[in-house]
Amino acid sequence: MKPVGAVLGDRERLQWDFTPLVGVGPLRFGMSHDEVIAALDADPPSTGPCGWGGRLAWFRLPTSYGDALTTYYGESGRLSCIAVDALHGPQVTMDGLRLVGRVPSELVDLFIDHMRSRGLPEAVRYSQYGDFGADELGLVLRAQRAGDILLTRPVFVAREWADRVCDVTEGCVPDEEWQVYC
């Protein structure tokens, strides 16, 4: 068994696809917390309140050696945001582009090329912390510490939360998520 701080290789991770503004892997935005638990078939999650009145949950998955996902639920109790852990989370792809556990400086050019191929090169935005993403996709690729390096921790949001997804102060991504660095 790997230690909790170990980074999983792509072959050790579950393989999920991302559909912008719709969902990630078996999860769809708008699901209830109970529906998320059933879809993941995971151990019971740890849960807690978010500072803005919503809730969050941390999930371990069968292949993870630590928390693999953080899910955030709006005041309605519906799934609005999914953050995939860079060390232990599933590998999520978007049109063949691997998004999880990548060195951010290596992924940014590929991401810009992907947005260019969709006719949206000007849609790429950067957060106040230097994380990159796009409102049109409901995606921000955050950086998470893995020992002495940084790896990508994608944060996917529902359409209602996509406006200013990269903006730390005015976007809907919860403060709790912006504070995750290790």
Mean pLDDT of 59-83: 86
pLDDT above 80 (res 59): yes
Mean pLDDT of 109-129: 92
Note the pLDDT tens digit of each residue in 92-104.
Answer: 999 999 999 999 9
Domain ranges of the chain: 10-178
The tokens for 171 are 């976007």
pLDDT above 70 (res 143): yes
The pLDDT confidence band at residue 179, using thresholds 50, 70 and 90, is confident
pLDDT above 60 (res 12): yes
**Pairing between strand 149-157 and 139-146?**
antiparallel
Task: Give SS3 for 92.
Answer: strand
What's the whole-model pTM score? 0.92
Mean pLDDT of 62-78: 84
User: How much of the chain exceeds pLDDT 70, in percent?
Assistant: 94
Q: How far is CA 129 from CA 6, 16, 54, 116, 117, in A?
A: 25, 27, 24, 23, 26
Specify the residue for token string 């002495």.
Answer: 148
pLDDT above 70 (res 68): yes
pLDDT above 90 (res 134): yes
The pLDDT confidence band at residue 55, using thresholds 50, 70 and 90, is confident
